[in-house]
Chains A and B, each alone.
Chain A
Amino acid sequence: MREGLIIEDLHLSLRAPAGGSSGSSARPVLSGVGLTVAPGEFVALVGASGSGKTMTALSVLGLLPPQIQAASGSITLGGTDLLAASGAELNRLRGGRIGMLYQQPKRMFNPRMTIGSHLAEPLKLHRGLRGRQARAQALELLTNAGFEDPERVARAYPHQLSGGMAQRAMLAVAMAGQPELLLADEPTSALDKVLERQILELIDTQRRQHGLGVLYITHDLATVSAFADRVVVMDAGRVQEEGPARAVLGAPQTACARELLEACALTRRRIVVAGEAPGLAPSRDILALDGVTKRFAKGRGARPALEDVSLSLREGEILGVLGQSGSGKSTLARLLVDVEAPDRGSITRTLPAGDGKDDGGGASRGVPGTEVQLVFQEPHDAFDPRMKLFASLEAPLLRQRTGTADGRRERIHQAVRDVELDPDLLDRYPSQCSGGQLQRLTIARALLLDPAVLICDEATSALDAVTQRKVLDLLLRLHRDRRLSLIMISHDMNVIRYMSHRVAVLYQGALVELAGTSEFFANPQHGHSKELVAAARAHPAVCSAPVACGDLAACAHRVLGANVAGSRPGTSRLLELVSAPDA
């Protein structure tokens, strides 16, 4: 009998719709997928969205959507044939021998049941525990999932837990049946780096203690590089590449693996440019916050969203604002664009005067109230779904009541070409465009008002790594060409490091650190900053591509500063450098 999970030559296909109007026969979803997870092994299944990785997981659980069927192949777990298993057998497997983690843990709990009742289900079903025994076991599971107050968590309802807590509670539920295999479907994609690391460490502990096989599905290679034994790269329903983590990350053989890696790696490389090339002399402040406090919740004990923040943006600067969710960074953005007014303190805008040119399309820089523009996180939400994109871009120009229709059209087309898109796209509706295209159009729409400052509030967080990189480069070009000052608000260390001249760290509504980028990453001062930098280092962005070595090594050396012991200048792979153990 072979141990662990073995998937061999699995083919899944989409059943042709009953009507069959299009005449298409069964469309393949997976074609010949094979992978194994031995007991105690941590396997990362990596791929872009739509590559078939979630379908692979669902087929293991026997929970495929009804329109998808397994055409051929086999799935066995410790010798049991999962594809041939009966309903009752599958019920015993799910939650028993196989535990599952999901991408959005809060939605995976019944909102009307406490966490304790969720734990009771698998304990009763798979281990026959009831009453006091079950309760004791539930508390132990919660303790193992890193909760210090398991009794309170057991009594809590799902809506009372944060995202990170919910995922740890889900891990407790998954472990309740003492599984031999844990399927984790992007369990940390919605969490920040600190929480992500916590969850991964918890999973890893369980793996070591119980000899648990882990199949960890993710689109983010950086996440798993420090934990995975083996990496399987999927694309278009096929396994493209497979091997030990170091081999795949260090020397990817296929184009798709390389692309995934580049997306993470390139973010790191720019530091050379960001740190040195812009060469902008420190100049005057164009935006200044002085002792700004903003409070939303009323009542005693409510923490203000922002408290006594003083911060300034210099002309021509890229300022990175680093903060986890709830740190007040979105409030900061809303204050800066004048959507909210501060409760206390002041915001001074000394924006450069317009250059006075008028190309017939309306006024130029200095349209009152629009000198500071904002790019949002969710590009699909930034456009009215009922309007064609051209109308969406034209609307703010119409408000100015100047210029001709032709002039406006010309300006809009120019702006769209400026963000490297084809103006033909403007004839579409937002739902017909990709996230990357829409995010470029959001930028174009903001640029139409010729702002002096562009604030990007998690502007690339919803994009996949490759698109993210392209949008970031576009922003850098606009920054150079247009004398545009940028504020990059993000929770992503790599984005901040890639883009910023200076880094400001927000923590629980307060500004806890403000420093030059390289200085910050080399030597963070505040406790929270240290934690963030440490989390980023624990599984650093993977650098792999065979690129010119000298600069990179220097860069990595500078980034990690004295902390990188045993760095070998001249090495051809940054990976080895940055993933070397911290001293």
Chain B
Amino acid sequence: MMLFLARRTAALLVAVLLASFVVFLIPYVTPGDPVRKIIRSRVAGDAIDDSAVQALSAQLGLQDPLWTQYLRWLGRFASGDMGLSYTSRTPVVDQVLPALWVTLSLVVMTLAVAALIAVILGIAAALNEGRAADKAITAVSQAFIAMPEYWLAPMLVLVFALELSVLPSAGWEGPTSAVLPVAVLALRPASHFTSAVREGMLDALGADHVTAARGRGLSYFHTVRKHVIPNGLLPLTTLAAVWFAGLLGGSVIVEVIFAIPGMGRLLFDGVLNSDIPLAQGAVVVVVGLAVLLTTAADLVHGLLNPQVRMRHA
């Protein structure tokens, strides 16, 4: 298990380092003078003349080899200094940290809602295989996987916020403001999870060891509860890992539509306003978060599955 953990952590580190290096390169590859861009992200003053640029670029080490600059940038970044936002002229880290919590809670709530719906509907469908309930659940979950968030969101806003006025149309204050964003974001993963739970349950129901459990005298319900459901839900952990990235991507759209002050919104603003320090900080944090959550889900899958657990023991 320790080896398994170590390997996972190593892969995680490599991923984040790679992403950070690519992100570090942004000022060098985008149009314009990289030196000025970097100085702008480090120095609070607004107007800087050419002689000051010379002095500052020497002072900030911008003539050093690229990898030295990268290491220095990484060191600063790791210690929480992500530079100054071009637009607000405040440290990026002060914007990133509160936004991180907003997005994290949005994603975790969404995942919980999606998993809950999927477990209920998936089990119901599998236990009624071939009947009307199963067919309806399967059809709906198949259809909703093709539902674009950026269409569903305005429609729901139109109905619940503007016509019925029961829910707020934007913002992130109080539990009611979370209802629409979570509903929009949860729809596609919930459909996907439902199909997966149904398939997993059917596989588990057909397994030979279930026949054997019945042969030992376990009743149908006891067998389903003890041998079918736990095994049938196992694929959900892998699927959750796959979906974290998708949810963080989806949160960009949802946060933009519902004006939620999260990471996605921050990233979007950074890119839209060519605010390089903000975009850099947001990308690295979102990618780090995605990698972290994915790894956590993989780890849970490993813990629940003795074969995986012991292979890496």
Contacts and interface: CB of A to CB of B under 8 A. Distances in A.
B231 A110 contact: yes
Contacts of B227: 110, 113
A87 interface: yes
B307 interface: yes
Grouping DSSP codes into helix (H, G, I), strand (E, B) and loop, the A interface class, with mixed when no group exceeds half, is helix
Nearest to B220: A87
Nearest to B212: A108
Contacts of B216: 94-95, 100, 118, 121-122, 125, 173, 177
B218 A102 contact: no
A94 B217 contact: yes
Contact of B214 (A92, A94, A173): A94
Contact of B218 (A91, A93, A159): A91
Interface in B211-251: 211-220, 227, 230-231, 234
A55 B253 CA distance: 58
Given A102-B212, A104-B208, A159-B307, A112 B230 contact: yes
Contacts of A104: 208
A170 B213 CA distance: 11
Contacts of B207: 107
Contacts, number: 72
B217 A109 contact: no
A160 B309 CA distance: 12
A171 B216 CA distance: 12
B306 interface: yes
Given A111-B307, A112-B306, A125 B217 contact: yes
Contacts of A92: 217
A267 to B, nearest CB: 32
B176 interface: no
Interface string A36-68: 000000000000000000000000010100000
A108 B209 contact: yes
Given A63-B214, A110-B231, A121-B213, A102 B219 contact: no
Given A108-B209, A112-B230, A112-B305, A157 B215 contact: no
A157 B234 CA distance: 17
Contacts of A213: none
Nearest to B214: A63
A435 interface: no
Interface in B287-313: 304-307, 310
Interface in A115-148: 118, 121-122, 125-126
A397 B231 CA distance: 48
Given A102-B208, A109-B209, A159-B306, A95 B215 contact: yes
Interface string A71-108: 00000000000000001100111111000101010011
B217 A126 contact: yes
Contacts of B218: 91, 95, 121, 125
Query: Which residue, B217, B219, B304, has most C-beta atoms of chain A within 10 A?
Result: B217
A13 to B, nearest CB: 21
B231 A177 contact: no
Contacts of A93: 217
A111 B305 CA distance: 8
A169 to B, nearest CB: 12
B129 to A, nearest CB: 12
Query: Which residue, B215, B218, B227, B230, has most C-beta atoms of chain A within 10 A?
Result: B215
Contacts of B306: 111-112, 157, 159
Contact of A108 (B211, B220, B231, B310): B211
Contact of B212 (A88, A100, A126, A177): A100
A126 B217 CA distance: 8
Contacts of B215: 61, 63, 94-95, 100
Contacts of A96: 217
Nearest to B211: A63
Contacts of A122: 216-217
Nearest to B230: A112
A87 B219 contact: yes
Nearest to B309: A157
A483 to B, nearest CB: 47
B169 to A, nearest CB: 46
A107 B212 CA distance: 9
Contacts of A159: 306-307, 310
B97 to A, nearest CB: 40
A317 B214 CA distance: 53
Interface in A143-162: 157, 159-160
Nearest to B231: A112
Nearest to A63: B214
A157 B307 contact: yes
Contacts of B310: 157, 159-160
A353 to B, nearest CB: 50
Given A104-B208, A157-B306, A110 B217 contact: no
B209 A177 contact: no
Contacts of A111: 209, 231, 306-307
A180 to B, nearest CB: 14
A197 B218 CA distance: 31
A100 B217 CA distance: 11
Given A91-B219, A157-B307, A107 B208 contact: yes
A63 B220 CA distance: 12
A177 B306 CA distance: 27
Query: Which residue, A92, A94, A104, A177, has most C-beta atoms of chain B within 10 A?
Result: A94
Contacts of B231: 110-112
A252 B113 CA distance: 68
Contacts of B214: 63, 94
Interface string B190-219: 000000000000000001110111111111
B126 to A, nearest CB: 16
Interface in A323-380: none
Interface string A172-187: 0100010000000000
Contacts of A94: 214-217
Contacts of A61: 215
A407 B215 CA distance: 58
Nearest to A177: B217
B50 to A, nearest CB: 61
Contacts of B230: 112
A88 B216 CA distance: 13
A160 B311 CA distance: 10
Contacts of A173: 216
Contacts of A110: 209, 213, 227, 231
A108 B230 CA distance: 16
A113 B209 CA distance: 11
B21 to A, nearest CB: 32
Contacts of A125: 216-218
B222 to A, nearest CB: 9
Given A157-B307, A159-B307, A108 B208 contact: yes
A107 B218 CA distance: 17
Nearest to B311: A159
16 contacts: A63-B214, A91-B217, A100-B216, A107-B208, A107-B209, A108-B209, A108-B211, A108-B212, A110-B209, A110-B231, A111-B209, A112-B231, A112-B234, A113-B227, A121-B216, A157-B306
Given A94-B217, A104-B208, A159-B307, 16 more contacts: A63-B211, A63-B215, A87-B219, A91-B218, A100-B215, A102-B208, A102-B212, A108-B208, A108-B209, A108-B211, A112-B304, A113-B227, A125-B216, A160-B310, A173-B216, A177-B216
What are the 7 closest A-B residue pairs judged by CB atoms, nearest first? Answer: A95-B217, A95-B216, A108-B212, A107-B208, A94-B217, A157-B306, A100-B215
